[in-house]
Structure 1
Amino acid sequence: MGTKLDLNVEIMKPAGNKRYFAVFMVALMVGINYLDRVNFSVATPTIMQEFGLDAGQMGILMSAFFWSYTLTMLPIGGILNKFGPKHAITGAAAGWGLVTMLTGLASSFTHFFWVRILLGVTEAPGFPASARVVSVWTPIKERTFCSACFDCCARVGSAFAPPLVAWLILSYGWRASFVITGAIAVVYAFFWHFTYHEPDAHPTITKEELAYIRQDEIVTSEGAVESKPIPMLKLFLYPTVLKISIAYALYLYVWTTFNSWMPAYLMQARGLNLKQMGFAAMVPYIVAVVCELLGGVVFDKWKAKGATVTQLRRTGMGLAMLGSAVFIWLTMLASTATGAIMYLSLFMGIFAFGASNVWAIPGDIAPYGQAGGVGGVYNFVGNFGALFSPMVTGFFIASKYGYNGGFTVCCILAVIGAVLFMISDYTRLSPKLA
């Protein structure tokens, strides 16, 4: 039989902070991931002009990434459950870095299409692997903030990509921007490979810190953490998994619409030039980074005061989705570019504050060590929203409804997503009896 750890260990802070280095490394990975992903969005107006592509065609290219990204999620989840995140992240970062560099050689719609497909395959392990790392390296009391740390780095990459890539395009051309940003991911892959260890195998972790991060788990007499794995495909039989995954699809639809189209929106609908857009697009993402980290602190403090995990996730994700609907609507009504940027910033702020919870969810409900599998299903279903978002929005932009038509769809889906998040339960799953 296994036992919970002593209550004193649960309360006291440990000697050592190796867990924060693990969180830092996945946060850095997500930031680089999004730098390479958002590069294409920033280069969109330039590429459209050079190759004569319309908004519908660009929507297809943006969505192509998510076609392969989504389909790769299920096998990635199984691989993470079996082998862990070390090799998965090494291969992914090196792979997407090389593919990003190859994007700089593209010379036609077809070439762009296939590199976008390859980019989706290589970037797929990022978020499930990050959730897996955080789930085994942090106790529940720190999990919202630590999950927010890596999730908010999607906003960090999105914040610094517009001015950086705009500067690279103006100085060296759009092709060089892909080569330079892709090379950063390749360097990271080597650094990750030689520094990451699982908690049990870490050469310098203290016994106190290891006990601290395991405080919510059952530890066997042999010193191993007890886990009751659930086969990947059987996860689809759990109503909670289906509800939160569909809700996450609606969350990603909203996020991806703005992550893909905000640079073009600011230039085409609000009249900014490339340099102005680079700095204007940065503002909402910076607000989002600050608000997501703040959300992580607030929700962890609420947990310390006795809130249940279900209360945290329902409140946080409901606030994120309902708040986003309000401020997206106000963005459409804004009469000036300054007003639009202000409301976009408020949208991103409340969206990110609540979404400090979004990638804590797989670790909450998964059996120990299985967050990669739950995260794979979560991201597999969820990314159908991301898959359709750029394409559907692109077709609206090309129609008589324009950007406002695409944004109205976001408002409707955000409200539906809020309801699904708020009626879900977030307790840990147990294997179903045969």
Structure 2
Amino acid sequence: MTKATNAAPVTKPKGRLRWVVLGLLCLLALINNIDRLALSVAAPAMQADLGLTATDIGLLGSAFALFYAIGQLPSGWLIDRYGTRLLGGAVVLWSLATAAMGMFNTMGWFVVARAWLGLAEAPSLLATNKIVTHWFPKKEQGIANASWDAALKAGPAFFTGILVWIVAAFGWRTLFFIAGVAGIVFAVLFLLSYRNPDDHPRLTTEERDYIRQDHDSGSPKTDHVPWGALFTRPTMWGMMAGYFCNMWVYQIFLTFIPLFVINEFGIEFKSMGLIVSVPWIGAIIGDLASGLLSKRLSERAGWTTKKAKMRIITVSLTFQAGLVALIPLHGAGMSNSTGLAFTITLMAFALGFNGAVVAHAWSMAAEVTTTETVASVASLQNFGGFLGATVSPLVAGIIIDATDSFNLVFFSAAIVGVLSLVFYHFGVRRPIITATSHQEAA
């Protein structure tokens, strides 16, 4: 595989079509996460209306994550084999699943809808990551991936208040219907507008050369690498285990922040929109700041893009674990309002570091394999991650119902975060597949 070096790069072109494509991906990510966020926002109203418990809400979060994880396994191969335009059909399917949540009344059917959503969304971020590898040189892939991951967080950061208002004014079912319609509108836009770089009529030769400056397009193809062979690579297992632990932490925040704020601080549902948005603003800042930092680090003498991304991952995991461990203090000794502000600030910084890890974990796929197999490698990492996201909401829900507290949930999440650091630091060392050989580098 061609390594990023400090050799003179191709001059940055005047064309900026790659950033237009990134804008489309960011819009997709925003819609994607609103579909996931809808359950978290609707949960208190669903509990009041249908008598659901915290364990029930955790089970619905786990149903999505489990089937999302299972869907990773074929999705990466399908995208590598048939291309990224499969994404349009996936958006239609998951939008229908979101709308279906508003039609059901029992846990059994809610689980079916969340499982359907998980399977349908499985190709989405894999295709997004592959599009980034096609449209950006490696030194810009960190900020590109950080941008769409930040857009994922824009839903909870900037739209939670609107979503809460929709539920309060029109009911939780309307929220699911609106989210489903928005996805179908995007699918039409994507299918009409997206093309790969080689097929895009408005991409200049100058910008195409800039994009390809450190790609491996001139090296032997690896389309026929056995998919199962990826499981024999220690680095692949390191990425899967590290992402398992990081997504364990992320999914707890995504599923339970509204319930945490209501239960621990007595905040009314209609007043929580701005409060629960703050941690996700922190996640966006962490995403974008880490992307810019990794680009600057990779341009230093003696640094590679892989070294820069790994440094961001390991440092971020260290700070995340420490911050999550402090959340159970709930601002001990402070007034309720000051304690709430203290805790929300901790969450904002923790999610900022979590976002930095997510963005650069996605970028690592391009560092350890070739362009032709990047979706397959990313799919297995994401498979591992969402096994963690499957377990954590259910475990958290059981703990909350048993202890009537979130303390143990966050203490255990901090420990899991430390394990993520260990797996990435010691497990992600060598290439999985190179462009010149199907064997690991010596």
Is the TM value for this pair above 0.5?
Answer: yes
Q: Distance in 2 between matches of 1:84 and 1:244?
A: 24
Point out the more displaced range, 73-82 or 348-357. 348-357
Q: Counterpart of 2:406?
A: 403
Look up the match of 2:222: 228
Show the counterpart of 1:203.
201
Aligned-partner Cα distance in 1 for 2:439–2:322 = 44
Q: Are the counterparts in 1 of residues 365 and 374 from structure 2 also a CA contact under 8 Å?
A: yes
Match of 1:337 in 2: 340
* Structure 2 unmatched ranges of 5 or more: 333-338
In the TM superposition, residue 84 of structure 1 has moved relative to its aligned partner by 1.0
Give the superposition deviation at 1:160. 2.9
CA contact (8 A) 1:155 1:288 kept: yes
Q: Mean Cα displacement is larger for which, 415-424 or 210-219? A: 210-219
Match of 1:239 in 2: 234
* CA displacement at 1:400 relative to structure 2: 1.9
Query: 2: distance between equivalents of 1:361 and 1:338?
Result: 35
Contact 2:242 / 2:423 at 8 angstroms: preserved in 1? yes
- 1:145 matched residue in structure 2: 143
Could you say what secondary structure the match of 2:371 adopts? coil
* Paired residues of 1:315 and 1:422 also in contact (CA < 8 A): no
Alpha-carbon offset, residue 264 of structure 1: 0.8
* Mapping 1:77-156, distance limit 5 Å: 77-86=76-85, 88-156=86-154
Match of 2:33 in 1: 34
| Residue 401 (structure 1) shift | 6.5
Alpha-carbon contact 1:249-1:385 (below 8 Å) kept: yes
2:392 aligned residue: 389
Deviates more, 1:172-181 or 1:20-29: 20-29
Report if aligned partners of 1:69, 1:121 keep a CA contact under 8 Å in 2. yes
Asked whether the equivalents of residues 232 and 374 of structure 1 are also in contact (C-alpha less than 8 Å), the reply is no
Partner of 1:312: 308
The answer to whether the 8 A contact 1:247-1:420 is kept is yes
**What SS does structure 2 have at the residue aligned with 1:360?**
helix
Q: Which residue of 1 aligns with 2:285?
A: 290
Q: Which amino acid aligns with 1:394?
A: G
Give yes or no for contact 2:10–2:213 (8 Å, CA) kept in 1: no
- 1:250-270 per-residue CA deviation (whole Å, 9 max, x = no partner) reads 010000011111111011122
> C-alpha offsets along residues 401-423 of structure 1, whole Å, 9 cap, x if unaligned?
62111111100010010111122
Amino acid at match of 1:320: S
In 1, the alpha carbon distance for the partners of 2:87 and 2:430 equals 27
Contact 1:18 1:205 in 2 (8 A): yes
* Residue of structure 2 in register with 1:162 after alignment: 160
**What displacement does 1:11 show?**
3.0
CA distance in 2, matches of 1:401, 1:104: 29
- Conservation of the 8 A alpha-carbon contact between 2:246 and 2:354: no
For 2:188, the equivalent position in structure 1 comes to: 190
Kept in 2: contact 1:323–1:351 (CA 8 A)? no
Partners of 1:291 and 1:149 in 2: CA distance:
10
State how far apart, in whole Å, the 2-side matches of 1:426 and 1:181 are: 41
Q: 1:355: Cα distance to partner?
A: 4.0
Counterparts of 2:289 and 2:421, CA distance in 1? 21
Deviations 1:117-142 (A, max 9, x none): 11111111111111111111111111
Unmatched 5+ residue regions in structure 1? none
Contact 2:22/2:144 (8 A) holds in 1: yes
Question: In the alignment, which residue of structure 2 is the partner of 1:176?
Answer: 174
CA spacing shift, 1:354–1:53, aligned 2, 3 Å: closer
1:313–1:426: 8 Å Cα contact kept in structure 2? Answer: no
Provide the C-alpha distance between the structure 1 equivalents of 2:160 and 2:312, rounded to a whole number of angstroms.
28
Structure 1 range deviating more: 284-293 or 30-39: 284-293
Contact kept? 1:396, 1:403, Cα under 8 Å: yes
Q: Which of 407, 411, 421 is the matching residue for 1:418? A: 421
Counterpart residue type for residue 303 of structure 1: S
The equivalent of 2:15 in structure 1 is 16
Task: Tell me the distance in 2 between the aligned counterparts of 1:426 and 1:148.
Answer: 23
Q: Distance in 2 between matches of 1:298 and 1:183?
A: 37
1:13/1:191 CA distance change after superposition, 3 Å: same
Cα distance in 1 between the residues matched to 2:432 and 2:12: 25
Q: Which residue of 2 aligns with 1:216?
A: 214
User: Cα gap change, 1:167/1:141 in structure 2, threshold over 3 Å: closer, same or farther?
Assistant: same
Picking from 265, 283, 286, the partner of 1:270 is: 265
- The answer for the alignment partner of 2:433 in structure 1 is 429
TM-score, normalised relative to structure 1: 0.93
* Separation (CA, whole Å) in 2 of partners of 1:366 and 1:45: 44
Aligned length: 425
- Could you tell me how far apart the structure 2 residues matched to 1:426 and 1:18 are? 33
Tell me: CA distance 1:433–1:166, structure 2 relative to 1, closer, same or farther (3 Å): closer
More displaced 10-residue stretch of structure 1: 327-336 or 29-38: 327-336
SS at match of 1:205: coil
Q: Take 1:129 and 1:157, find their aligned partners in 2: how far apart are those partners?
A: 20
Matches of 1:72 and 1:107, distance apart in 2: 26
Q: Which amino acid aligns with 1:132?
A: K
1:153-177 per-residue CA deviation (whole Å, 9 max, x = no partner) reads: 2211222342121010111111111
Task: Give the 3-state SS of the residue equivalent to 2:78 in structure 1.
Answer: helix
Q: Is the Cα–Cα contact under 8 Å of residues 310 and 427 in structure 1 kept in the other structure?
A: no
CA distance change for structure 1 residues 219 and 133 in 2, over 3 Å: closer, same or farther? closer
Amino acid at match of 1:425: R
In structure 1, what is the Cα distance between the partners aligned to 2:27 and 2:237?
30
Change over 3 Å in CA distance of 1:418–1:12 after alignment to 2: same
C-alpha distance in structure 2 between counterparts of 1:231 and 1:258, whole Å: 36
Q: For 1:226 and 1:26, how far apart are their aligned partners in 2?
A: 29
Amino acid at match of 1:432: H
Write out per-residue CA displacement over residues 354-401 of structure 1, whole angstroms, 9 at most, x where no aligned residue: 544121111222212321111111111221001101101101111126
CA shift at 1:226, angstroms?
4.5
Q: Within 1, Cα distance between the matches of 2:213 and 2:197?
A: 13
Contact 1:55 1:394 in 2 (8 A): yes
Q: Against the structure 1 CA distance between its residues 283 and 412, is the aligned structure 2 distance closer, same or farther, given a 3 Å change threshold? A: same
Residues of 1 paired with 2:118 and 2:353: CA distance? 28
Post-superposition offset of 1:112: 0.8
Shift of 1:290: 1.8
Whether the aligned pair in 2 keeps the contact of 1:65 and 1:120 (CA below 8 Å) is: yes
